[in-house]
């Protein structure tokens, strides 16, 4: 078992390293799609922390993705804060929002939490559209977001941005792997399986769940920053409820708590539609059918989490 | 003998029905205490109040003299008070090892960020706790099934896994809710040995049990309740001959009386 | 005073529609513990089917009451059939699976129906004919009440009363309530749970089709993404009343309609939806089981 697990890790590391070479093999529009894959993969993994691992039905995850994007957009365009500085701030604010919004709702079970998070998402989008204090730019959003600079080097080419996204995806993947093997990550699984049994073992449900929401939101905030930089513009339409539904579906279709599953889900839900842009009309129709088909044929997801051994 | 756990006049009602009423008894350090009573007498409800699942409507529960009435389950666990469930509650998607390792949760000192970064101190602690888990698996003869999915095992083995999970928390007192339920004769006899083995490591035990053989053989002290009220208390010999106990069992449930 | 009564009438009209759609959410949830995310889209599909009947066969002339009635009947039958087919294909195979699999299947069904509407009828906004109903209006204490408002309020009241009687005073209604409390126990008592579920997927979408057509006739428009918007409102109504509770969905629909109507009078329309969602969150915090729902304790 141990040897096999190590192989999975090696395979992942190899694939990631091979991915670094993508800008040499692809034209710029494909490099851009690869960059979006990395960004959405981070977002989907962050949803997996809350939904797949902790078992909390978060159907408003686009909120934290959006907070990350807006924090970076506002700080960068109005106060000229460099992107590499807005990035930790975006993560921090998204985490704070995740902890604050979830704190009162954490005792809600299953479907009620799902409905409440739908409500948060709707309110967030409406708030961004209504341009409170004139800082969110209303429906048009904010344009003219700068590019990150590293050691005085402007990362403005599509390839440079891809590498930034890809390296950060690599780091997030490492964090997700560590999560599996630490007490916090295990506590999430105990709570997901049986909250009462977990609490009699001393798991502090409120603390652990709040932390899970904060971590998931922080990673989504990171992805949101990268998203704002990649597009150099943000607008409310990128963070609507449908985006949350897609993130939710990625985790379930891919496989809850399964890193390869979530990555495959991201590729299917975000990248494949880019390929079939020409058939835009039929895209979501086919998509809906595919979602039903996958669930009926493989209710546990395409690449479910393997039962891990000692 | 020092009192570890004291129940003082606790009571609770569900929808007008008084499930437990003015119940008092004491569990002393190092004792094995049996709580018995006919079906529906309120035994599991008492356990649920002690472990914080239900909040008593009246009375106090003391742990080493400190009032812990109404504390949440996670806080109760930090005191070193652990329980099993009448309907075994193992983590279904996890192996036996992972289930027992879960019992070590409070022993883990690592912070979440140390875990996410896989810092050396965290890795060291993981190794220590894995070793502790294996040690307990060995003691309860579960090494052979360590990697088996817990809920795929026979009922009797699952009970042992749940027991191992409580022991992993290095408890002061464990509360066993019908540990012999669903066991065959051989398993039931082995359970007696296991209970003595646990007591000999310095753990105090409070158990609810239908199987009178188990209760009479292992308990130092027995508390009998019926309709939520205490009707008798004493050692096995005294309980066996107590007229109120005999009436409660003969009057309600013949099977149990013959078992006694 | 005039505006007050006007808001009440407007609120009751919209509330009646919400209630008709909310019943579909709540009945399915009650029996299957599933949020049927495709329900709103089914209702709007009903509006499109009805619209096609009305415009396709009238040839531009006055549709007439008979044709209007026919449009409703065809729409109800079509959507009820769609509901039953949906349950067979997308939900029944997942009854024993992880609940989230059924949720994602429902989300997929919603996408499929919504975009299916777009493929058949196109992405543009369709306008309902203005001459479907008499243009009669009444003036009561300064408020203007239109014929359509009276029709919607009366029809929803009658339908809700009929459903209430059916569920509470017939054998089959008792079976539905039993299955909602405990499917396994109901099965042991000889209740055919599959039949109950099928019936719930006939009644819910059937009432939803009426609600969808009312939306089309009242607002005089239909477009393919409408199912999400109105579906979400009706769903909030179901939560407000206590999801799974049939009288709760009726009460929730009417209250939400009134709440929206009055909020519209005092708050700018751009924040109106935010307030509705804020209300939803407050309800969930204060009383997650809704106004008429019962608290359930976990068995240990």
Residue-wise pLDDT for B204-243, tens only, equals 999 998 777 788 889 999 999 998 899 999 998 898 888 8
Half-sphere exposure of A258 (CA within 13 A, CB side): 23
Interface chains of chain C (3 or more CB pairs under 8 Å): A, B
Q: Identify the residue whose tokens are 């009288």.
A: C247
Evaluate if residue B259 carries a pLDDT over 50: no
- Return the pLDDT at B103: 97
Q: Identify the residue whose tokens are 């009620």.
A: A112
Q: Are strands C126-127 and C221-222 parallel, antiparallel or unpaired?
A: antiparallel
Evaluate if residue B181 carries a pLDDT over 50: yes
Find the CB nearest A196 among B89, B97, B126: B89
- Decide if B97 and A205 are in contact by the 8 Å CB cutoff: no
Range of the domain at A138: 27-239
In degrees and rounded to multiples of 5, residue A240 shows phi and psi of -75, 170
Residue A49 lies in a domain: yes
Residue-wise pLDDT for B131-165, tens only, equals 999 999 999 999 999 999 999 999 989 999 999 99
- Collapsing DSSP to helix, strand or coil, C144 comes out as strand
Q: C44 with C226: CB under 8 angstroms? A: yes
Q: B140 with B160: CB under 8 angstroms? A: yes
Q: Identify the residue whose tokens are 């759609």.
A: C21
Where exactly does CATH 3.40.50.300 map onto chain B? 1-80+171-260
Reference A75, options A155, A136, A138, A153; nearest CA is A136
**B84, exposed or middle or buried, with CB in 10 Å at 0-12, 13-18, 19+?**
buried
Which pairs with CB-CB distance under 8 Å and at least 24 residues apart come from A171-174? A172/A42, A172/A45, A172/A46, A172/A219, A172/A222, A173/A12, A173/A16, A173/A45, A173/A259
Residue C13 lies in a domain: no
Residue C116 lies in a domain: yes
* DSSP character string of C36-62: -TTHHHHHHHHHHHHHHHHHHHHTTS-
**C78, exposed or middle or buried, with CB in 10 Å at 0-12, 13-18, 19+?**
buried
CB contact A196 to B (< 8 Å): yes
Q: A221 with A68: CB under 8 angstroms? A: yes
Residue C239 lies in a domain: no
Interface chains of chain B (3 or more CB pairs under 8 Å): A, C
Arithmetic mean of pLDDT, B13-23:
89
Structure tokens at B226: 């019926």
Reference A258, options A169, A174, A183, A176; nearest CA is A176
In degrees and rounded to multiples of 5, residue B183 shows phi and psi of -90, 150
Confidence bin at B260 (pLDDT 50/70/90): very low
**Residue spans of chain A under pLDDT 70:** 1-6, 307-310
Structure tokens at B128: 């220590």
CATH, domain range B1-80+171-260: 3.40.50.300
- For chain C positions 261-300, those within 8 Å of chain B (CB to CB) are 300
How many domains does the structure of chain C reveal? 1
Range of the domain at C25: 20-228
Integer Cα distance of A256 and A299 in angstroms? 11
Sheet order of strands, B81-83 included: B81-83, B173-177, B204-208, B32-36, B221-226, B229-234
Q: A231 with A76: CB under 8 angstroms? A: no
Residue A289 lies in a domain: no
Reference B102, options C291, A75, C88, A198; nearest CA is A198
- Collapsing DSSP to helix, strand or coil, C124 comes out as coil
- Return the pLDDT at B188: 86
Evaluate if residue B257 carries a pLDDT over 50: no
What is the DSSP secondary structure assignment for residue A232, as one 8-state letter? S
- Decide if C107 and A249 are in contact by the 8 Å CB cutoff: yes
**C134, exposed or middle or buried, with CB in 10 Å at 0-12, 13-18, 19+?**
exposed
- Return the pLDDT at A168: 97
What is the DSSP secondary structure assignment for residue C97, as one 8-state letter? S
Confidence bin at B75 (pLDDT 50/70/90): very high
Reference C272, options A136, A244, A127; nearest CA is A127
Residue-wise pLDDT for B1-15, tens only, equals 789 999 999 999 988
Residue C258 lies in a domain: no
Q: C89 with A292: CB under 8 angstroms? A: yes
A255: left (phi over 0), alpha (psi -120 to 50) or beta: left
Q: A201 with B77: CB under 8 angstroms? A: yes
- Return the pLDDT at C298: 46
CB contact B84 to C (< 8 Å): no
Q: Nearest CA of chain C to the CA of A10: how many Å? A: 31
How many domains does the structure of chain A reveal? 1
- Return the pLDDT at B104: 97
CB contact C122 to A (< 8 Å): no
Q: C4: which residues sit within 8 A by CB, 6+ positions away?
A: none
Half-sphere exposure of A79 (CA within 13 A, CB side): 10
Find the CB nearest A295 among C94, C110, C232: C94
Residue-wise pLDDT for C2-23, tens only, equals 788 898 999 999 999 999 999 9
Residue C103 lies in a domain: yes
Structure tokens at C174: 């008792």
Find the CB nearest C274 among A123, A252, A288: A123
Interface chains of chain A (3 or more CB pairs under 8 Å): B, C
Find the CB nearest A284 among C97, C115, C285: C115
B13: left (phi over 0), alpha (psi -120 to 50) or beta: beta
In degrees and rounded to multiples of 5, residue B147 shows phi and psi of -95, 5
- Return the pLDDT at C8: 92
- Return the pLDDT at A155: 83
- Return the pLDDT at A154: 83
- Collapsing DSSP to helix, strand or coil, C207 comes out as helix
Find the CB nearest B105 among A196, A203, A307: A203
- Return the pLDDT at C44: 97
Model-level ipTM above the cut of 0.85: yes
Find the CB nearest B116 among A178, A193, A201: A178
Q: Searching chain B, which residue's CA lies closest to the CA of residue C298?
A: B53
Arithmetic mean of pLDDT, B58-75:
95
How many residues appear in chain C? Answer: 300
What is the DSSP secondary structure assignment for residue A50, as one 8-state letter? I
Q: Searching chain A, which residue's CA lies closest to the CA of residue B118?
A: A178
Integer Cα distance of C233 and C269 in angstroms? 15
Reference A110, options C1, C164, C298, C54; nearest CA is C298
Helix (H) / strand (E) element for A171: namely helix A158-180
Q: Nearest CA of chain B to the CA of A275: how many Å? A: 35
Residue A306 lies in a domain: no
- Decide if B98 and A186 are in contact by the 8 Å CB cutoff: yes
- Decide if A186 and B101 are in contact by the 8 Å CB cutoff: yes
Mean of all residue pLDDT scores within chain B: 91
* DSSP character string of chain B: --EEEEEEEEEEEETTEEEEEEEEEEEETT-EEEEE-STTSSHHHHHHHHTTSS--SEEEEEETTEE-TT--HHHHHHTTEEE--SS----TTSBHHHHHHHTTGGG----HHHHHHT-HHHHHHHHHHHHHHHHHHHHTT-GGGTTSBGGGS-HHHHHHHHHHHHHHT--SEEEEESTTTT--HHHHHHHHHHHHHHHHTT-EEEEE-S-HHHHHHH-SEEEEEETTEEEEEE-HHHHHH-HHHHHHHHHH-HHHHHH-
Neighboring chain C residues of B48 at a CB cutoff of 8 Å: 300
Evaluate if residue B17 carries a pLDDT over 90: no
**Residue spans of chain C under pLDDT 70:** 1, 57-63, 294-300
Arithmetic mean of pLDDT, B18-24:
92
- For chain C positions 253-282, those within 8 Å of chain A (CB to CB) are 270-271, 273-274, 277-278, 280-281
- Return the pLDDT at C131: 82
Reference C298, options B60, B96, B22, A199; nearest CA is A199
């Amino acid at each position: 078992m141990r040897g096999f697990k190590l192989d999975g890790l090696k395979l992942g590391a190899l694939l990631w390293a091979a991915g670094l070479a993508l800008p040499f093999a692809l034209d710029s529009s494909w490099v851009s799609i690869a960059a979006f894959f990395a960004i959405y993969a981070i977002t989907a993994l962050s949803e997996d922390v809350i939904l797949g691992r902790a078992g909390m039905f978060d159907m408003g995850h686009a909120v934290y993705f959006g907070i990350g994007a807006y924090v970076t957009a506002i700080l960068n365009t109005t106060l000229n804060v460099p992107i590499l500085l807005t990035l930790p701030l975006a993560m921090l604010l998204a985490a704070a929002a995740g902890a604050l919004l979830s704190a009162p709702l954490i005792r809600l079970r299953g479907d009620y939490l799902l409905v409440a998070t739908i409500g948060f998402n709707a309110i967030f989008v409406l708030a961004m559209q209504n341009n409170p204090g004139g800082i969110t730019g209303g429906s048009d959003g904010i344009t003219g977001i700068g590019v990150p600079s590293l050691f005085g080097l402007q990362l403005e080419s599509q390839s440079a941005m891809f590498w930034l996204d890809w390296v950060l995806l690599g780091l997030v993947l490492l964090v997700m792997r560590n999560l599996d093997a630490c007490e916090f990550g295990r506590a999430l699984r105990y709570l997901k399986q049986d909250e009462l049994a977990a609490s009699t073992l001393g798991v502090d449900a409120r603390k652990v769940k709040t932390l899970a929401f904060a971590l998931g939101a922080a990673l989504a905030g990171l992805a949101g920053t990268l998203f704002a930089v990649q597009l150099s513009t943000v607008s409310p339409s990128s963070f609507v409820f449908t985006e949350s539904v897609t993130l939710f579906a990625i985790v379930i279709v891919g496989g809850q708590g399964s890193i390869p599953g979530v990555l495959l889900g991201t590729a299917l839900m975000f990248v494949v539609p880019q390929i079939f842009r020409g058939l835009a009309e039929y895209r979501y129709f086919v998509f809906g059918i595919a979602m039903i088909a996958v669930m009926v044929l493989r209710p546990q997801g395409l690449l479910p989490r393997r039962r891990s051994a000692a | 003998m020092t009192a570890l756990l004291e129940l003082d006049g606790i009571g609770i009602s569900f929808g007008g029905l008084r499930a437990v009423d003015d119940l008092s008894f004491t569990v002393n350090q190092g004792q094995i205490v049996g709580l018995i009573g006919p079906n529906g007498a309120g035994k599991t409800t008492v356990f649920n109040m002690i472990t914080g699942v239900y909040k008593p409507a009246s009375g106090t529960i003391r742990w080493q003299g400190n009032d812990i009435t109404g504390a949440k389950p996670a806080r109760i666990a930090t005191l070193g008070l652990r329980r099993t469930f009448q309907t075994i509650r193992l983590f279904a998607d996890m192996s036996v090892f992972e289930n027992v390792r879960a019992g070590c949760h409070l022993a883990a000192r690592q912070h979440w960020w140390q875990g996410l970064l896989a810092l050396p101190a965290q890795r060291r602690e993981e190794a220590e706790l894995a070793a502790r888990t294996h040690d307990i698996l060995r003691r309860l003869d579960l090494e052979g099934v360590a990697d088996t999915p817990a809920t795929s095992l026979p009922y009797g083995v699952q009970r042992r896994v749940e027991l191992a999970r409580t022991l992993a928390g290095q408890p002061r007192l464990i509360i066993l809710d019908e540990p012999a339920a669903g066991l065959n004769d051989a398993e039931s006899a082995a359970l007696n040995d296991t209970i003595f083995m646990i007591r000999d490591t310095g753990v105090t035990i409070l158990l609810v049990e239908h199987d009178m053989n188990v209760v009479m053989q292992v308990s130092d002290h027995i508390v009998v309740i019926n309709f939520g009220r205490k009707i008798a208390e004493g050692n096995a010999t005294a309980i066996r001959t107590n007229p109120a106990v005999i009436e409660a069992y003969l009057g309600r449930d013949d099977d149990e009386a013959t078992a006694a | 005073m005039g505006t007050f009564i006007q808001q009440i009438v407007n609120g009751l009209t919209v509330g009646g529609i919400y209630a008709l759609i909310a019943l579909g959410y709540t009945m399915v949830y009650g029996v299957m513990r599933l949020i049927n995310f495709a329900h709103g889209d089914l209702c709007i599909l009903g509006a499109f089917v009805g619209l096609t009947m009305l415009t396709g066969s009238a040839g531009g002339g006055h549709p007439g009451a008979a044709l209007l009635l026919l449009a409703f009947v065809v729409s109800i039958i079509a959507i009820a059939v769609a509901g039953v087919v949906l349950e067979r294909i997308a939900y029944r195979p997942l009854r024993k699976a992880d609940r989230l699999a059924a949720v994602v299947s429902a989300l997929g069904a919603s996408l499929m129906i919504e975009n299916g509407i777009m493929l058949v009828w196109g992405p543009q906004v369709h306008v309902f004919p203005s001459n479907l109903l008499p243009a009669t209006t009444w003036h009561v204490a300064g408020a203007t009440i239109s014929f359509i408002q009276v029709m919607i309020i009366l029809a929803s009241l009658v339908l809700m009363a009929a459903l209430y009687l059916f569920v509470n005073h017939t054998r089959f209604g008792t079976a539905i309530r039993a299955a909602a409390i405990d499917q396994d126990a109901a099965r042991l008592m000889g209740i055919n749970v599959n039949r109950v579920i099928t019936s719930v997927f006939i009644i819910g979408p059937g009432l939803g089709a009426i609600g969808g057509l009312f939306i089309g006739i009242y607002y005089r428009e239909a477009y393919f993404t409408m199912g999400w918007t109105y579906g979400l409102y009706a769903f909030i109504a179901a939560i407000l009343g206590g999801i799974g509770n049939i009288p709760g969905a009726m009460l929730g629909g009417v209250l939400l309609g009134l709440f929206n109507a009055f909020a519209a009078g005092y708050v700018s329309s751009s924040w109106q939806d935010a307030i509705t969602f804020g209300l939803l969150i407050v309800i969930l915090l204060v009383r997650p089981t809704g106004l008429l729902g019962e608290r359930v304790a976990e068995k240990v």
